[in-house]
Structure 1
C-alpha cells in the first residue's frame, strides 16, 4: 500500500515579506491621511473661531458706537483750550497722538496698518437738570464751582467713599441758538463732581471745571457767560472707551482703554487690523448722500488729515466758527460736528499659521499668503445721539397761516 504525503499549506517567506510591506504601506498611508485630516480640521476650527470672534467684536463695538453721544450728541467736550474731544473721533494714525502712544508698538513693515477710535457718552441714569439759582437769579451757576439743581434731583453722581470725584459733563443742546444776539458753536464742559446735595434746602452740585493740566478759557470757566441763562442744562457722568490695535511682541492685539483708566486692556489677540470710515452729513441739504472719509474713489483722505485746501464743509446759517486759531483744525471740528455714521472693518486672523499655505503674493482678498487664515467683517453703525443734540439741521420756516 502506498503512503500519501500532504503538501505544505503555509506561506513562503517571500509572500510573508510582501504582505508585511503592503500592510506597512497601507498603515502609513492611513496615518498620513488621518494626520492631514486632523490638521485640516484644526485649521478649519480656527477659521470658524476667527469668524465667531469677529461677530462677537462686531456686537461689542456696535453697542459702544450706538450709545456714543448719549445726552450730548456731537457737542465737543472742553478738556482744555487745546483739547476739544468729540463723542466720536477717529485717528488715522494712532502713533501720532499722545492719547494712544502709551506702550504703543506700530505694525512691522509689510503688516496692515490700523486706525484708532475714541468714544464718549453720558450715563443718563444719574442725569440731573440744572435750574436757576435761588435769590432771583437768571443763571444756573453760582460762581466757579457751584451748579444749581432742579427739585428732586438724583444724587447718583456723588462720589463713593474713597473716590475723589466723579467725571461728568455739563451740556446744553440749545447753545446753537441765538443767545444775546450771538450765534455760538455748542460746547460741553468737563466736570469733576465732588458733591451732590439734592435736598430742598440746598439743591446744588459742587464740581471743579476743566483739566488737571493746561488752561481752559471758554464758557466752562466763565460763570457769567450768557449761555448759563439757558434752560435745559443737564449734567451726566461721563463714560467712554478708546480702541486701538497694538503690535506688542510682534503680534496684533485689539486693546481698549475705558475713560478714566490708565492701563490698556486686551480685548482680542485675533484682530490684525481695524479700519474706520466716517460719514459726514450736509446740514444745509440733508437729503444729500453722506460724504465718507476716507473715500479713495472720491479722492478723499481721512477726516483728521483734512485741510482747507483738500476738504470742504457746508455753511449752516447762524453757525459760528470754532474759536481755534488754526483754520485747518477749525475745519476738522466743523466736519466732526456733522459725523452721523461709522463704518468699521475688522480683519480677524487665526492664531496658528499653516506653513504649507505660505506662498508669495496676496490672495483674492488682498491678504498676504503667510499661512494665516483671515476673515473680514465690515459693518456700519449710526450713533443715536449724534442726530439729536448739538449742531443740527435747521428746521424750515413754517409757511401758511395754519388752522
Structure 2
C-alpha cells in the first residue's frame, strides 16, 4: 500500500517536473531562436529613442500613425529648443507594450505626449495577429517591442499571444541566428543606409505629406464616426485601458517625466462630418476618459474639437491630415504645452546632435 502511494507521488512529481521543463524549453525556444535580437533594428523611430537616451529634456510623442502625419516634430524642437522625436507607429499596436518600452527610456527631464487614437480607449488585452506576426518575422520588424518587455511580460506574450504553430515555424527557421537567417544582415545594411540618410536630414519621426493620397478602403466605405468608434454600438472604456493608465502612472512616478495626453487629429472626408453622428456620446465619452486620466494626475492638451479638421485636410484616412493642417495642429500643441508651463531647453547644436546619432549608428 505504502509502495503504491509512493509510486503515485513520484509519478505526479515527475509529471509536474516534465511539464515545467517543457514549458521552460518552449519559452526559451521562442525567446532565443524565434525572435530576432539585434542592436540595430529596422525601426528608425526606435533608433531615435535609444540613441537619444543621454540627451536631456526630450519631448517624445507616442501613439499611432495619426501623430506621424499630424505633428511636426521639427517645429516643436525649434520652438522649445528640446530634441523632439515621434516614436509612434500603428494605432492597433498594444498600448501596454508601448508603455513598457517607454519605461526603459523616460527620464526625469523628459516630456511625453500621448495623442492616442480612440481605439486605445476601448481595446482589450488581446494582441492583434498582425502585430504578433511582425514581432516574429524574419526581419525582426517589431522584435524591439518584445526585447523591451520585462521577463514576466515576455512570458505572458509567449504563452498568451503567440500561436503555437507560428512560434514553432519561427523557431525552426532559426530567425534569431544570423548565420542561418540572411534577412538579419540584409535588414541591418538597409537600416544603416536608411538611418544615416534620415539623420542627415534631421528627421525626427514625422511624415508630413501635402498631396492627398488614395483613400483608404475603410475611410471610403464608412462615415467618420463609424470609422472612429464602430458601426453597431458605441464602445465603452475598457478595463485594459484603465490598467494601462495605472501602469503609466507607475512609470511617471518612477521616472519623474512629465506626461500629457492629447486628443487625436481627425479629418473629414465630406465637409466637416466628424463627431456628428455620435455627437453626445462622444462628448460623454471624452469627459469620462478625461476624468479617469486626471484622477491619475495626468492632464489633457486641448479638446477633441480643437483637433478636428474639415475635408480639405484629409490625406488618405480620417486619422491622417495634410501637412498644412499638421502645421495648425502643431501650433495648437505648442500653445497648450506653453500653457502647461513647459520651459524651453538650451539651444540645440544640430551638428553635435547629428554626430551623436551617427556615432550610435556606427556602434
TM over 0.5: no
- Which one has a bigger Cα radius of gyration? 1
Higher relative contact order (CA 8 A, sep 6+): 2
Q: TM-score, normalised by structure 1?
A: 0.20
Q: TM-score, normalised by structure 2?
A: 0.22
Considering fraction of residues, name the structure with more strand: 1
Considering fraction of residues, name the structure with more helix: 2
